[in-house]
Amino acid sequence: MPESASVTPDRLIEFILNHYILALALVVVTYLLIQELFDAAFKKFGFISPLLAVTKMNDGSTVVIDVRESDEFNKGHIEGAINFPLSKIREHASSLDAYKNNPALIVCQDGARSATAGKLATKSGLKDVFVITGGMQAWQEDYKLPIKVNRKLKTGV
């Protein structure tokens, strides 16, 4: 191997100093990839589209947990959904015990709160947990699936 083509620590340091933006980008991308791999490996819940959620709901034992606040829930929710607002789910985590053996679908307005609720649900002992991607927004607007509007609050807490 010619001497000009060999990689020495001095040449590597020189390259990094001359191309610090590229080196920084490599470090950042590597960190993000490793973080994503760890998140995927240790995440104990999955994501499911609204259409696949309907298929899962056809199994009579599936429970739908809506983590929106009560006023959002009353404006429209999935038929048979139970309202466990995310703001109160931590203090009432024991209420989820009744659903440990059931597949659980978790939904919020746009999917942001559901991921947090999914983590809390798996920590509470639920085993088969899925977060509905896009939340109620996707359920109603993208997939045009039916909702139920009622004045009476069916709550889990």
Active centre residues (catalytic) = 108
Q: What are phi and psi of 106, to 5 degrees?
A: -110, 135
Question: Distances from the Cα of 28 to the Cαs of 21, 34, 41, 55, in angstroms?
Answer: 10, 10, 20, 39
Say how far residue 24 (Cα) sits from the centre of its chain.
29
Terminal C-alpha separation, the chain = 72
Q: Is 148 helix (H, G, I), strand (E, B) or coil?
A: strand
